[in-house]
Amino acid sequence: QSTHMASNNQTSVTEFILKSFSENPQFQIFLFSLFLGLFIVAFTGNSLIIVVISLNPGLHTPMYFFLINLALMDILSTFTVVLKLLQNLMTENTISYGGCIAQIYFLTLCIGAELLLFTAMAYDRYAAICQPLHYNKMMNKTVCCLLASVVWSVSGINTTIHTIITVRLSFCGPNAIDHFFCEIPPLLPLSCSSTYINNIMTFVSDMFFAIINFLFILLSYGFIISSILKIQTTEGKKKAFSTCSSHLIVVTMYYCTIIYIYILPALGQSLKEGKIASVFYAIVSPAVNPLIYSLRNKDVKVALNKLCPFFQK
C-alpha cells in the first residue's frame, strides 16, 4: 500500500503510512474511545483555565498569565496530534506529505515552547519565594510579556529551521513511519538523502531546550527549596511548597518523556518504546495539566465556583 509518484526514474513519497498501536479492531475501538476522552478532557480543561483566568481580575498575576500560555500550547498540541490520530484509528493509517510536515511544525513549536515556558514559570516561583520584596518589580507586566514573547519566538525560530531542513530531504520510499504521528526522530531514518545536518540540529536543540532548560529549572528549585527550609512556620513552609509542587509534577512528567524520546535516540537508544512515551507528552500531559494546576489550587477553584456554580460539589 505504498503510494509513489513516479517521474522518469525519480520516485518521491506523497504520503506516509503511520504504524498504529495494534491491528486488532477491538483494541482500536478501545484506543479511539480513550484518546477521544483525553482529547475532550484536554480541550475542555485548558479552555476553562483560559476563560476562568481571563474573566477573573484576581487571577491576573504572572503565575496565571503563564498558565494561560501553557493552556494555549496544550490545546494546539492536542489538535495537532489527536484529531488526525482519531481519524486514522477509524480509517486507514495514512498522512499526506504536507500533513506530516504540518504536524512536525506545530508539534515541535509546542514542545519547544512548553520546555521554555516551564523555565519562565520556575523563574516566577523563584522570584515569588526567594525575592518576595522585589517580586512586583522583577515580574511586572512588561517582564511577563517579554518572557512570553521570547518563549514563543525562540520556539518558532527553532521549529522553522527544523521544518526547512526536513523539507529539503528527499523521501523515495519506504514510506511507513513507525509511529502514530509525524515527528522528527522516526521520520529521519526514512530519508534517502543525507540527514547529517538534521541530526546535528536535533542534537543542538535537544541540548538547548531539554538539558540547559532543565538545569535552569533545577537551579531555581535549589534556591526555592533552600528558601522554603528557612521559613520558620510549618504553615508557611506548606504554603510555599504547595505553589511549587504542581509545577514540579508537570515538569517532571514532561521532561521524563521528552528525554526518553529525543535525547536517548540521539545517544543510540532504540525508538521502540518511544511510541508509548510520546502518548504522554502529546496527549496525557495536556489533559492532566489543567487538573494538576486547578485541583491543587484554591484560587482557581474559587474562581471556577463563581463562574460555574455546578462545580461546587
Reported as a pLDDT band with limits 50, 70 and 90, residue 6 is very low
Q: What is the pLDDT of residue 78?
A: 93
- How much is the average pLDDT of 58-74? 92
Task: Please report, rounded to a whole number, the percentage of residues in the chain having pLDDT higher than 70.
Answer: 90
What is the reported pLDDT for 1? 43
Q: What is the pLDDT of residue 8?
A: 34
Q: Is the pLDDT reported for residue 164 higher than 90?
A: yes
pLDDT by residue (tens digit) across 36-46? 999 999 999 99
Mean pLDDT of 160-172: 93
Classify 22 as helix, strand or coil.
coil
**At 18, is the secondary structure helix, strand, or coil?**
strand
Distance CA 225, CA 9 (A): 63
Q: What is the 3-state secondary structure (H, E, C) of 250-272?
A: HHHHHHHHHHHHHHHHHCCCCCC
Task: Quote the pLDDT of residue 5.
Answer: 42
Q: Residue 310 has what pLDDT? A: 59
Q: Residues 141-150: what's their mean pLDDT?
A: 95
Give pLDDT, residue 4: 44
265: preceding bond cis by omega (within 30 degrees)? no
State which H helix or E strand residue 16 sits in.
strand 15-18
- What sign for the dihedral angle of Cα 116, 118, 123, 124? positive
- Compute the average pLDDT of residues 253-259: 79
pTM above 0.85, yes or no: yes
Question: Strand 10-13 relative to strand 176-177: parallel, antiparallel, unpaired?
Answer: unpaired
Residue 82, classified by CB atoms within 10 Å of its CB into exposed (0-12), middle (13-18) or buried (19+), is: buried
User: Which class would CATH give 24-311?
Assistant: mainly alpha
pLDDT at 9: 34
Q: Is residue 148 within 8 Å of 139, Cβ to Cβ?
A: no
Sign of the alpha-carbon torsion through 206, 212, 218, 221: negative
Burial class (CB in 10 A: 0-12, 13-18, 19+), 280: middle
**Averaged pLDDT of the chain:** 84
Domain ranges of the chain: 24-311
Please name every residue paired with 16 in a beta bridge, in sequence order, or none if there are none. 95
pLDDT tens column, 11-21: 578 889 988 77
Query: Nearest 10 degrees: CA dihedral of 92, 274, 66, 221?
Result: 170
- Contacts for 262 with CB less than 8 Å, ≥ 6 apart: 185, 202, 206, 210
Strands, E assignment, 111-166 = none
Q: How confident is residue 203, by pLDDT bands cut at 50, 70 and 90?
A: confident
Q: Taking residues 204-231, what's their average pLDDT?
A: 87
